[in-house]
Amino acid sequence: MTEVVNIRHEHASIREWEVRIEQLLEGSARDAAVFNVNEDDDREYDAIFLGGGGGGRFGAAYLRAMGGRQLIIEQWPFLGGSCPHNACVPHHLFSECAAELMLQRTMSGRLWFRDMTDVRASIKDVVDVFRRGRVGPHAIMNYQSKEQLDLEYVLNARGTIIDAHTVEVAGRRFRAKNLVLGLGARAQELHCPGADLKGVFNYATLVEDLDYEPGDTVVVVGGSKTAVEYGCFFNATGRRTILVVRSQLLKTITDDETRGYVVDRMRDQGVEILEGALVDRIEAGADGRACAIHIKTSKGIERIATDFVFHALGETPNSEMPAAALGVKLGAKNEVLVNSQLQTSVPNVYAIGDLIGGPMEMFKARKSGVYAARHIMGEAIEYQPKAWPDFLHTHYEVSWMGLSEQEARARYKDIITIKMPPDTPDGLNVALPASDRTMLYAFLEPKMSGFQKLILDAATRRVVGAFHVGYGAKDAFQYLNHLMKQGLTIDQLGDMDELFLNPTHFIQLARLRAGNRTLRNL
């Protein structure tokens, strides 16, 4: 029988939560279920959120704020899901290290920068920094959810779906009018001989299991956001890094010119890219750890010696339990199918977040949770993620929204672009763009100072797409995307007030061209 502790009437500080979570994760209290359940409230729950990641937590908070009663059931001893535990948060830490190391290596021996020749940064040290520090974000999630948002939750115990209104957890059954499934997704497995060897990692096992310092050569399998983000970090630490990509690298960046700039800068940093390549097998060394990988390309099979293979092949939704217990309908990628009210095929059962398929992004997890909550509380809502702003990290941040130049030219008769650096033969080597965190590049290595492009339909003067490679533009893209969907024109953009030197330069560049009755490229 699982030990149950009800903490409803305790008020732990964030620091006290850190200690408790550590005990629950690794210490004496590993098997205890933590109940933060209001036994004095005899109202029926409006919803049980199964899974307390971004979707469950934001949905529950919204439903509670609207006056409903909710319960989150989460198998980890903290709320927030994979984001603070092994996904977005470590990935942002590693991407920040990649950007910092690229700057240090580029400036090596100049100004106050130390000579970085032969300096290899420790991957394990950074992973350890994350592993030691992640309990901080975990604790904040639990504290905020209980003390500030007044949420009810059960942690550190796996919920089992009994029926569309009932979930059993730690020996107790909870009933609700609705069930909201936010069970997330897990890394797809690599299928090849040797895939289960020590020394073969994905984003989740990397932060749990890395207990040695990887050697000189790292092999990354996959060609999308996760593969590139981790691959650029490994490369920046000073290791030979080879990306094994089954089709084309970074198809997700739809604009050819932007993708070209991004991939060229990765190659400049020494990232080796094998496209049209597959893993044949991974070879074990005498110590049982991977010692080499065999890659199949059009030229045959190549053996690469390495003790560290990282794969990032996408995510599979955790849909098995709801499919077996409730018979919810699934799509081709095992995602739970929902309508635009986030309802599954089973009445009173909703699904949100990564469980419903791509895009597996934070905004969609949180928004879908909130929209499900609003529908449960009686609001008429429509939610399908579409036309969202997007981003990824290489050694840079890459942000984009709307149509690529090719897509825009196929849709509209007259497309205008406004670009930085300027589209001249020597453009790449001029000190533009230049702004926060790219000033040193602009003056000392101009081609590394970034790329930005605004795409306009000349007939309506509307912005139809934008792409940015550099740093600090994500915030602007969140708001710009909203304005673009409302019909933002070059004239409105040029009439805004810029905080010079702003990372996108779009306002000032739009102002230089807005006076033209017939728009022209810049």
**Which parts of this chain interact with ligand NAP (CB under 6 A)?**
91, 221-227, 229, 246-247, 251, 312-315, 358-361, 391-393
Helices of type H across 286-433: 320-326, 362-376, 405-411
- Active-site residue flag, 138: yes
Query: Binds 250, which of ligand COM, ligand NAP, none (CB < 5 to 8 A, cut-off by type)?
Result: none
How many residues in the shown chain lie near ligand COM by CB under 6 A? 10
Ranked by CB distance to ligand NAP, the top (closest) residue is: 314
Q: Which of the residues 50, 63, 71, 83 is marked catalytic?
A: 83
CB atoms within 10 A of CB 380: 7
Q: Which is catalytic among the residues 24, 63, 79, 454?
A: 79
Q: Give the Cα separation of 123 and 207 in Å (integer).
A: 11
H helices, E strands: number in the chain: 16, 24
Check if 500 is active-site: yes
88 is catalytic: yes
Residue among 136 and 314 whose Cβ is closer to ligand NAP: 314
Question: What minimum distance in Å lies between the beta carbon of 301 and ligand NAP?
Answer: 16
Q: What, of ligand COM, ligand NAP, none, does residue 424 touch, CB below 5 to 8 Å by kind?
A: none
Encode 395-423: b = buried (16+ Cβ within 10 Å), e = exposed.
bbbbbbbbbbbebbeeebeebbbbbbbee
- CB nearer to ligand COM: give 56 or 421: 56
In terms of CB distance, is 393 or 453 closer to ligand NAP?
Answer: 393
Mark residues 48-87: x for contact with ligand COM by CB under 6 A, - for none: ------x--x---------------------xx--xx---
- Report yes or no: 495 and 512 within 8 Å, Cβ to Cβ: no
Cα(457)–Cα(459) distance, integer angstroms: 6
d(CA 389, CA 402): 7
Decide whether 68 or 222 has the Cβ nearer to ligand NAP: 222
How far is residue 213's CA from residue 308's CA, in Å, rounded to a whole number? 9
Judged by beta carbon, residue 398 or residue 434, the one nearer ligand NAP is: 398
182 sits near ligand COM (criterion: CB under 6 A): no
When CB distances to ligand COM are compared, the closest residue is: 54
CA triplet 226, 402, 243: central angle to 5 degrees? 25
Q: Return the half-sphere exposure (C-beta side, CA atoms, 13 A cut-off) of residue 497.
A: 0
Say whether 232 is catalytic: no
Q: Which does 247 bind (CB under 5 to 8 A by kind): ligand COM, ligand NAP, none?
A: ligand NAP
Length of the chain: 522
Respond yes or no: is residue 79 known to be catalytic. yes
Strand extents, DSSP E, 258-314: 272-275, 278-284, 290-297, 300-305, 309-311
Strand spans (E) along 124-198: 153-155, 160-163, 166-169, 172-181, 185-187
Residues 136-165 that bind ligand COM (CB under 6 A): 137, 141
Residue ranges binding ligand COM (CB under 6 A): 54, 57, 79-80, 83-84, 89, 137, 141, 366
Cite the active site residues: 79, 83, 88, 138, 500
